[in-house]
Amino acid sequence: MNNFLRKIKLLDSFSVIVLIPVNEVEKQLNKIIGKPNFGPGAMFSSQTPEFMGELNQQGFKIRRSIKAFSRNDSSIEAIAKFKALDGKTEINVQILGLDAFTKFFYILLLGMFLFATYLFLSSDISYSTDNLLLMIGLPIILLALIFLPYFQNKRGVKKMKYDLKRELKYLTSD
């Protein structure tokens, strides 16, 4: 599965070595990674950090913060492991663009499409204009519902990789 996700660019990984020890990396990352907050008005707060998730001595598991009126990719998840190397830290990051909700969405979509196809084929087929429009329109709608979220998640993985590389590169500059 991972090879397939990597091939369609919904899974990516990279490694960065920073010149500070692990405990300092954790301290610096605490500035940009916040705890998940689902309280009322949390998405309207201007002080919401860029990333939300869990951070500890072994690594982190983060997503983008959900902000009102912005089109961010909050379903893209990044998981990192820290490895100490003589006063340096190696950070191995894996970015996954397919979360559980998206998997459920695709399975539900496939089920609805198969059910609609069954109903269409089991009905009394007459080659009227309405049926021809349905025969042509149903696959077009299905393709749009499959490929729009795919391209959005693919773009989100690329953007998350760029942003995380940038943040980790400037980790020691503060």
For the chain, the domains span 2-100+147-172
Q: What is the DSSP letter of 69?
A: T
Is CATH 3.30.530 what the domain over 2-100+147-172 is classified as, yes or no?
yes
| Digit-coded pLDDT (tens) for 138-151 | 788 888 888 888 89
More confident residue, 173 or 81: 81
Question: Percent of the chain, pLDDT > 90?
Answer: 41
Please give the distance of CA 25 from its chain centroid, rounded to a whole number: 24
Question: How many Å apart are CA 29 and CA 51, to the nearest integer?
Answer: 10
Question: How many Å apart are CA 56 and CA 89, to the nearest integer?
Answer: 14
Q: Could you tell me if 34 and 47 are in contact, meaning their C-beta atoms sit under 8 angstroms apart?
A: no
| Digit-coded pLDDT (tens) for 28-43 | 999 888 887 655 655 5
| Digit-coded pLDDT (tens) for 120-140 | 777 766 666 666 777 778 788
